[in-house]
Amino acid sequence: MSGIFISYKREEQRVARKLAVALEKEGWSVWWDPKLRAGEHFDDVIEKALNEAKCVVVIWSESSVQSRYVRDEATYALDRNKLVPVAIENVSLPFRFRGVHTLRLVGWDGSKDNSEFRRLVEDIAAIVGPPATTRRKPQRDESDVEAGDGLTKLPSVEQPKGKFKRGTVFRDTLKDGSQAPEVVVIPLGTFKMGDIQGMGKAGPYSEYSKIFRHRPIPNHL
């Protein structure tokens, strides 16, 4: 399932690819028809992808405004309140879409700092939620437990830096944009182990109890 579906005319594939790459770098999953696999039926795949997408970005151009497929996909998205239209050329939009606010990416070079592209990111985030790369991390407090003091070191898992409140649940963003398993901060402490009442059977641990220190460990182990 993809968060974003890009609708465009074949002649605008270069722009569609550039837009897909830019949105994926923001942290979203993107579907556009070059992802079709051999043997798949075009209409079936398109319909499934449209149904599953949370947002449909329609690229308006001289070619796409004449395309029945693009107009049908735009209508589908508009009826379901998940349309985000983008014009890459100075065109007269189809009648039904002239009253819909449309962003302009005319001459866009693929820069993520372009003001209109940043507005596009904001509009998409309003529908599908913020991308993985901008999700807020837990805030720190000076009275919190010092991370790294007694935390179990896990291979291939980056240890949190700074201070976290005991009980704080956090998760890192991996390189591919997906989320790592949740980790919870557990403070240092002690517990008694053995027959602390002296009521058990005779044995090496029946006369006394041992006190063990436990170290915080991630809650997914």
pLDDT of residue 123: 94
pLDDT higher than 70, residue 57: yes
pLDDT of 149 reads: 47
Distance of CA 126 to the CA centre of its chain: 13
Q: What is the pLDDT of residue 40?
A: 55
Rounded average pLDDT over 132-155: 49
**DSSP symbol at 178:** P
Of 83 and 174, the structure prediction assigns the larger pLDDT to 83
- The residue assigned the tokens 């507005």 is 119
pLDDT, greater one: 163 or 85: 85
CA–chain centroid gap for 152, Å, is 27
- Cα radius of gyration (the chain): 27
Average pLDDT, the chain: 77
Which domains occur in the chain, in start order? 4-133 (3.40.50.10140), 136-221 (no CATH)
What is the mean predicted confidence (pLDDT) over 45-67? Answer: 93
Q: How confident is the model at residue 151 (pLDDT cuts 50, 70, 90)?
A: very low
Q: Average pLDDT, stretch 180-195?
A: 72
Does 182 score more than 70 pLDDT? yes
